[in-house]
Amino acid sequence: SVAAVVQFFLQAAPWSSSAFAPRPHPESHNFVRKKSSNHVRPFHGGAIFSSLHARSQSTASGPSLSQDAGVKANAEDAKGSQNGKDHIISQSAKEVTYAAILKAIDESHYNEANQLCSNLASETAASTADCVTSQIVDESKSYYSPTTRALSDDSVNAIRKAARSYFEKERERDPRAKESERVDLGELISSSDVGPAWENDLNYALIQTIYPLIRSGWPSHEAFSVPSNSKVESTSAYRPSELTVTSASVFAGCDFPGADVAMTTFERDAGLFVVHIDLGNDKHAEQLLSEGANVIGALYLESLSDKCEMQPSGSIVTLYPGQMVVHKSMERTAAIVVPSNIQSLEENNVHTLDGLFRRNILKAAEKATHYALRLVLTTKIGVGSESANGFSKLDIPEAPCEERSYRLRSYSRFRDSRERYLTLAGLLDADDYENHLWLGFDYLARFNDHGIQGDQQISFVNKAIFHLEKASALCPTDSRIHFQLATAIRAKMDYEKHLLIQGANDQRKSTGLELKDEANDLIRVADALKRSANLESSAVKVCVSGVQDLAIVLSALAETQCKLGDFEGALKTIDRWAECGSIRSALAFEDSTELQRIKVPSYEWIQTQVKNGAEISRNVAVRTVGDMPVLEPEDITLLRAAADKHFALAAGFQTSRFTMQYEGNSEAHLDDLCADPYLKERMDQIMQEKIYPLVREAFRGEEDEPQLGSLCVYDSIFVRYNGDIAKAAGRLGASQPLHQDGGIYSVNIALNAHKDDDDDGFTGGGTFFEALTVGDVDYIQRPIQPGHAIIHHTTQRHAGAPTTSGVRDILVIFLTARRPEVSTNAENTWRIERGMRLQSIAKELTRDKLIPCLKLAKNNDPRNSEIPYWLGVHLLQGDMNAPSGKRWDEICEGIDSFKLSTFLNPADARAHYHLGMAISTRHKYAMRTKRAHLLPPANEAAESLIQALETAIRLERKCVGAGCGNGLNLAAAFLALGDFMARLNDFDKAVTYLNQVEDTIRREGDIDQNWAKPMLHEVSTMLDYCTKAAMEKSNEASVVE
């Protein structure tokens, strides 16, 4: 009974009073809503990538409390805090509160069951009795899909015709409606003049097929038992529960460039059972797709994804018009479209996301508008002494546990003490995994609350792990659960490590996850992430989910594998991660069959040029020239208008994955702007006719020749630099720091003019290329005019030079390559991305794994100067007093890494700076550990150090002058030069360098920095010593003469 459950809940709840502390609104936990439903991204958000979602039917926003019950519940909730007198709510008050909520839930359920969709037939007592079956059934089966059709052709065509007419009218009012179309069946009936024949057909299917199928398929479902009620002494007054429809909706989708394959979001529904009936489309001609295939409907069921990695089609049930699938509402599903020959498109590579299977599903989505009917079913119960609502208000029976649990869970989202409501929901329905998923997520969020420390944090993370493990046991096919479980275990490991670092061993408790078992715990994390990645891959392959969540999982998995030292496994994971980037954008990928017939825009190479000939000229970037721009003026107008609208709607909110969010910087992803079908079609044409052929042509002779796979968009962003806003915020201008890009090639297209070419243009701005600082070419470059482009390798270090006034708009397109349809074992499509991603992962590793990770990155991309630079930095870090031979070898290897970095990129001031510092470090270490005999000759060492540090100083001053500095401490460079010269007894040179330290500090405005005073004191001491020593040396020379 209600009272018994509530009493147990109150007595057994294992919380302290702090559990009642006010909690933030659910939106503060990075919930991200999608379209018009309550769907939430599974992995999005902050440190824990948290997300969950609720079902999006009539009760998705929470249970509808009656006025009396709502007032009563609110009054009881207020008792504990009035005037601050009562800090703990009494036991009886809490019992009344929860009882009132549950009673309101029961009333809401039966009101909906009796009143909603009243035009559709409910199950009758006679048909209920006829459904008793003696045959053995498999109640663990998650769905049924009879071969017989639920609706006739005439009914299917009538519903589809009515829906098509309704949606066409909606699109006239709002063109964006095509993105996600849904209408309640009741509204469709009232707005159309279609006859009642199809409604009779649907009612006949409900009575004769659907209700009996559910009864016989799941005869032991708890909804079919007579409910308990503490106020009813006998159950004889109740009739058996009857199935009924509480929600009926028609969905439509697809039939435009870049259309989503899924007509419904990937989520579970309200109610107890769901019936999905395919309604077909208006284009039946087989020429829609290649090889005689046409477009048909299908339903993706999450429970089928467990063993479908080799054959992704095993996770979907294909349907022809009139056919149906019946499943439990607890099942996460999505209605999609597929080609009719889907079974013949299976691929052998288990981890291939992008192939004929997925590509043909995407093509199918663009070819026809498809329709489907979805019915949500629950049960209702009649009472002997019926009232107008079908039962006596005083004798409302308990709703099915699954309904109560779902509604209570939805209600909990907007309450302070969510954990208590979720725990009660779990007690009401022990088989609903989502209660444990929500609890695990919420405890993980509380663990990350900065106001909680010590034992309470450990308690929260332990509870999170417990509930997520329970959820994974109840539903092993939900990828979100496994990811959150891995996150919770990793969070606990990091916290225990933090306590050790802080010397707080006494705060650690033995809770089953000891730090000494770190390798075993990492294996648990890796296993959970592998499970999550494989399940999420199944959804991506059939286009039910986007790749963003999968990329997050694979990123975490690659890092975990590197922490375990499993670098071979990490490389395979990184390839899958890179493949996610290659299919993330909806923009068209390269069609290689058209390349030979296309004339590319004219271009020229921007090269380093040195007058004295000491430096070999190097290709830096390609710049388009001539009268054939990449974007025409009308394309630019269309893009800027779309961006203006996007920025106005965003109201300052950023969704950046790339640019630094400084004042004056704004951006919009091109995929978001291409929600306009015309802009999407135009950009696809530009990619195919200009950008892809141009990149192929320009970089064909380069050592990093374009990959064998089709070029494609990794991402693309419209960037707006507002120099006036940046200046008002105290910045030099709107800019980006020195960086490398993601992908393989970067395409930078100007969208408006500089003031040199247009009085209304911007000042400053342009792309600062680090490589050009070694020569005599202007190191800030801009396209020759709006519509033209500059293209370069993503590994070419560059920056956005400060736009000092006005607005500068650019479109940046990052290109990568797709997996080749025919590949060889020797080819590595994403070797450049392998190197960059391993380099990024290395920063999160301990030193014993970091060094081999960077070496592996260098082997995969030996031409990226950034990798040996960071390898050198980390090799030089360590105990400088350790006399071991290994430490000496690391210092020498670090110097070699810096030399390689400066060879690959002679313009990197950081590499030269650290090379000079490393030479100085080697000299000091050799003297300290009696290895002076291993040093190079003094003159050679001095020449190397002077050249490295003076080059660093010269290059850094150029970067600083352009507003794109590396942040090097040039004063420290002069100090190192002076120190080294003093150690070689060249005191005159030492004095020359040391005298520049103070001037440099003052020039850069660092005289008030904390480090400046001790450095100047050291310099003063050294100057006194060197001046005195120089004089003594001079006097000694005079005596000798």
In the three-class reduction of DSSP (H, G, I as helix; E, B as strand; rest coil), residue 260 is classed as coil
pLDDT band at residue 176, thresholds of 50, 70 and 90? low
- When pLDDT is averaged across residues 373-382 and rounded to a whole number, the result is 88
Are residues 896 and 876 in contact, defined by beta-carbon separation less than 8 angstroms?
Answer: no
Are residues 726 and 663 in contact, defined by beta-carbon separation less than 8 angstroms?
Answer: yes
Burial per residue of 120-154, b for 16 or more beta-carbon CB atoms within 10 angstroms, e otherwise: bbbbeeebbeebeeeeeeeeeeebbeeeebbbbee
Are residues 704 and 749 in contact, defined by beta-carbon separation less than 8 angstroms?
Answer: no
* Short-list 515, 510, 452, 521, CA closest to 487: 521
Which pLDDT belongs to residue 663?
Answer: 85
pLDDT band at residue 890, thresholds of 50, 70 and 90? very high
* Short-list 664, 641, 660, 642, CA closest to 652: 664
Using a pLDDT cut of 90, give the percent of the chain over it. 46
Are residues 295 and 367 in contact, defined by beta-carbon separation less than 8 angstroms?
Answer: yes
Which pLDDT belongs to residue 194?
Answer: 67
Instruction: Kindly report, residue by residue over 402-439, the tens digit of the pLDDT.
Output: 999 998 888 887 777 788 888 888 888 888 999 999 99
Say if residue 63's pLDDT is above 60.
no
Q: How far apart are CA 9 and CA 421, in angstroms?
A: 10
Residue 692, amino acid: Y
Helix (H) or strand (E) holding 607: strand 603-607
**Pairing mode of beta strands 295-301, 273-281:** unpaired
Which pLDDT belongs to residue 385?
Answer: 42
Residue 6 or residue 675, greater confidence? 675
pLDDT band at residue 546, thresholds of 50, 70 and 90? confident
Helices (H), 366-431: 401-412, 418-428
pLDDT band at residue 962, thresholds of 50, 70 and 90? very high
Q: Name the least confident of 69-73, 318-322, 1013-1017.
A: 69-73
Both tokens of residue 668?
Answer: 């919009």
Q: How far apart are CA 404 and CA 228, in angstroms?
A: 13
- When pLDDT is averaged across residues 838-853 and rounded to a whole number, the result is 93
pLDDT band at residue 51, thresholds of 50, 70 and 90? very low
Instruction: Kindly report, residue by residue over 991-1010, the tens digit of the pLDDT.
Output: 999 999 999 998 888 888 88
Q: Which residues contact 869 (CB under 8 A, 6 or more apart)?
A: 897, 898, 901, 908, 910, 911, 914
Instruction: Kindly report, residue by residue over 285-298, the tens digit of the pLDDT.
Output: 444 566 677 889 99
Please list the residues that pair with 805 across neighbouring strands. 763
Helices 938-961 and 970-983 meet at what angle, rounded to 10? 170
Using a pLDDT cut of 70, give the percent of the chain over it. 78
The 3-state secondary structure of 220-235, one letter per residue: CCHHHCCCCCCCCCCC
Please list the residues that pair with 281 across neighbouring strands. 370
Instruction: Kindly report, residue by residue over 94-118, the tens digit of the pLDDT.
Output: 444 778 888 888 888 888 888 888 8
Q: How far apart are CA 76 and CA 100, in angstroms?
A: 9
Residue 279, amino acid: L
Which pLDDT belongs to residue 501?
Answer: 73
Q: How far apart are CA 493 and CA 104, in angstroms?
A: 43
Top mean pLDDT of 180-189, 644-653, 714-723 is at 714-723
| Torsion-angle region of 652 (φ positive above 0: left; ψ -120 to 50: alpha; else: beta) | left
Residue 38 or residue 694, greater confidence? 694
Both tokens of residue 495?
Answer: 């916290």
Which pLDDT belongs to residue 256?
Answer: 77
In the three-class reduction of DSSP (H, G, I as helix; E, B as strand; rest coil), residue 754 is classed as strand
* Short-list 430, 423, 394, 418, CA closest to 106: 394
Which pLDDT belongs to residue 170?
Answer: 82
Average pLDDT, the chain: 81
Which stretches of 282-352 are assigned E, i.e. beta strand?
Answer: 295-301, 316-319, 324-328, 333-339
Please list the residues that pair with 789 across neighbouring strands. 749
pLDDT band at residue 823, thresholds of 50, 70 and 90? low
Helices (H), 627-717: 633-650, 670-673, 677-686, 692-698
Residue 169 or residue 952, greater confidence? 952
- When pLDDT is averaged across residues 784-802 and rounded to a whole number, the result is 95
- When pLDDT is averaged across residues 346-351 and rounded to a whole number, the result is 58
pTM greater than 0.75: yes
* Short-list 334, 298, 331, 323, CA closest to 313: 298
Are residues 409 and 54 in contact, defined by beta-carbon separation less than 8 angstroms?
Answer: yes
Question: From residue 404, how far is each of 69, 99, 205 by CA, in Å?
Answer: 16, 12, 28
Say if residue 311's pLDDT is above 90.
no
Instruction: Kindly report, residue by residue over 494-542, the tens digit of the pLDDT.
Output: 888 888 777 644 544 444 445 557 889 999 999 999 999 999 999 998 8
Instruction: Kindly report, residue by residue over 110-152, the tens digit of the pLDDT.
Output: 888 888 888 899 988 655 555 544 444 666 788 999 988 999 9
Q: Which residues contact 238 (CB under 8 A, 6 or more apart)?
A: 226, 227, 381, 382, 383, 384, 397
- When pLDDT is averaged across residues 480-507 and rounded to a whole number, the result is 83
pLDDT band at residue 826, thresholds of 50, 70 and 90? low
Both tokens of residue 601?
Answer: 């825009």
The 3-state secondary structure of 788-837, one letter per residue: CEEEEECCCCEEEEEEEECEEEEEEEEEEECCCCCCCCCCCCCHHHHHHH
* Short-list 958, 965, 877, CA closest to 917: 877
Which pLDDT belongs to residue 885?
Answer: 86
Say if residue 779's pLDDT is above 80.
yes
